[in-house]
Structure 1
Amino acid sequence: MQNRDEIKKILEENPAVMLYFSAPTCNVCHALKPKLFEAIKSNFKEFQIISIDTSVDQETAAYFNVFAIPTVLVFLESKEFLRKSRHMSVDEVIREIKRPYEIMMR
């Protein structure tokens, strides 16, 4: 588990980062996580993925203004590009990232 400063450093050093906020009591989080992580890894080779357990790390969740789970934040070149909370599909997330990611990685 990374602390907030470590996450900020990862955001600065990597062109594409996904933060996945969840908690052990969230059934939707557990169903979505493996599918989303696999889709990100297979579609976008340069992505760093960080999973944040909001039941343990509420400070980091608050820092990123995350108050619902699951929440996905995607950062491209250190800037927040996409924020999805609660109701999302894997295809929807991939579709929204694909074009900007490809342009950025040329």
Structure 2
Amino acid sequence: MNKELSSIEEIDAFIQNNRLSMLYFSQENCSVCHSVYPKLKDLLTKFPSIKLAHVDTSTVEEVVGKFLIFSAPTIIMFIDQRETFREGRFVQFGPLAARLQQISDFPVV
């Protein structure tokens, strides 16, 4: 299930409540954002332990400063509330899938 988050509080709660969480930041007028998101959702069906949430930076403007979003789209992966990696603007799905496979294969301690 993919969530739409509309406040900093919702974003913080999502990261805290999901050990493996991914945030997808986009803008309403970004054509690249609209083409990448469905591909990302499809990719994540192979990794059910990774929870995805979408944030529209046009409506939650304070995320730009908090998460240092300099371009759209931006993907940030969190493990245990710590940023593990980020992808910005041009998402390479091959390397992204390999990283997600490594994360999902890593045992929970």
TM-score, L = length of structure 1: 0.88
Post-superposition offset of 1:27: 0.8
| Number of the residue aligned with 2:17 | 13
For 1:105 and 1:39, locate their aligned partners in 2 and report how far apart those are by CA, in whole Å. 22
| Offset of residue 97 of structure 1 | 2.1
- After TM superposition, the structure 1 = structure 2 runs for residues 59-78 of structure 1, keeping only pairs within 5 Å, are 59-78=62-81
Q: How many residues align?
A: 105
Write 1 or 2 for the structure with the bigger share of helix: 1
Superposed structure 1 runs of 4+ greater than 6 Å apart:
none
Gaps of 5+ in 1: none
User: 5+ unaligned residues in a row in structure 2: which ranges?
Assistant: none
Deviation at 1:51, TM superposition (A): 0.6
Q: 2:94 aligns with which of 70, 91, 96?
A: 91
Give 2:58's match in structure 1, choosing from 38, 55, 78. 55
- Distance in 2 (CA, whole Å) between partners of 1:96 and 1:47 is 12
2:34 is the counterpart of 1:38:
no
CA RMSD of aligned residues (A): 1.6
Contact 1:11 1:78 in 2 (8 A): yes
- Please say if residues 76 and 101 of structure 1, whose CA atoms lie closer than 8 Å, have aligned partners that are also in contact: no
Report whether the alignment pairs 1:101 with 2:104: yes
Which deviations, in whole Å up to 9, do the C-alpha atoms of 1:69-101 show, x marking residues without a partner?
010000011110111101112222121121122
Identity of aligned residues (%): 27
For 2:90 and 2:82, the matched residues in 1 are separated by 23
TM-score normalised to structure 2 length: 0.86
